[in-house]
């Protein structure tokens, strides 16, 4: 899987949502290799989107279509300030098939001080999370090509309420929690209370 992360800021989330819906109606049926997308606008106007493709080649081919370029330019005008892009060829997922039923998505971005060790700990914690956090429907972790110490992680929940209740549980051992804390720096959260979840029809 290949993921492109897009982020920026808008003052009119409704207009951006309408643009996304136009893409779904007009362009998605012809987007070969597109697997789905998670996007939305946080309460402060922060936009985050994860567009998922079978491969980097599929993403590039879609981006070169004239109609895609026209849509991208029109949509760019809705943003205020810089729009940032991160291509991600290294991706980890857990139970992604159920994620498009989520009522709440929390996106985390952080710097990982030991990427290899961190990925091993994430893999080891999957079984515990599946068993003890039924409100957690899935995760997708995208490691930035331009700086592999940075990640964008989308965590899919049944609802925000159940996510907040579940996060109070101490599931991992003290040692495992310390590993997570020690290896993650500059952590920020983007809460999508009304996530826009799309997938091929």
Q: Which of 56, 88, 120 is the last residue before a domain boundary?
A: 88
Do 144 and 150 form a contact (C-beta atoms < 8 A)?
A: yes
pLDDT at residue number 112:
87
Asked whether residue 201 is domain-assigned, the answer is no
pLDDT at residue number 127:
75
Return the DSSP state at 100. Answer: G
pLDDT at residue number 5:
97
Asked whether residue 168 is domain-assigned, the answer is yes
**Residues 6+ away with beta carbon under 8 Å from 126:** 94
Asked whether residue 197 is domain-assigned, the answer is no
Q: What domain count does the chain have? A: 2
Q: Which of 37, 61, 88 is the last residue before a domain boundary?
A: 88
pTM: 0.89
User: Whose CA is closest to 146, among 190, 175, 111, 120?
Assistant: 111
pLDDT at residue number 64:
83
Chunked in runs of 10, what are the mean pLDDT values of the chain (201 residues)? 97 97 93 94 97 94 88 94 95 78 94 79 75 85 92 94 81 57 79 95 79
Please check whether residues 107 and 187 belong to one and the same domain: yes
Q: Which of 88, 114, 139 is the last residue before a domain boundary?
A: 88
Q: Which residue has tokens 């965590």?
A: 155
Domain containing 141: what range? 90-192
Please check whether residues 95 and 175 belong to one and the same domain: yes
Question: What tokens does 90 get?
Answer: 């290294």
Asked whether residue 55 is domain-assigned, the answer is yes
């Amino acid at each position: 899987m290949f993921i492109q992360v897009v982020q920026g800021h808008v003052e009119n989330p409704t207009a951006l949502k309408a643009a996304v819906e136009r893409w779904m109606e007009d362009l998605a049926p012809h987007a070969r290799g597109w697997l789905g997308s998670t996007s939305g606008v946080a309460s402060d106007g922060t936009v985050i989107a994860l567009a998922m493709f079978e491969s980097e080649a599929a993403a590039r081919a879609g981006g070169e279509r004239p109609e895609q370029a026209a849509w991208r330019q029109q949509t760019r005008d809705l943003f205020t300030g810089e729009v940032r892009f991160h291509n991600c060829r290294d991706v980890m997922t857990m139970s992604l098939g159920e994620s498009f039923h989520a009522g709440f998505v929390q996106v985390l971005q952080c710097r990982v001080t030991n990427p290899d060790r961190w990925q091993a700990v994430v893999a080891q914690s999957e079984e515990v999370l599946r068993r003890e956090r039924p409100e957690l429907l899935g995760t997708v972790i995208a490691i930035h090509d331009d700086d592999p110490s940075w990640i964008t992680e989308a965590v899919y929940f049944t609802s925000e309420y159940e996510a907040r209740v579940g996060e109070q549980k101490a599931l991992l051992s003290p040692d495992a929690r310390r590993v997570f804390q020690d290896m993650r720096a500059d952590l920020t959260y983007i809460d999508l209370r009304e996530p826009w979840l799309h997938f091929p029809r």
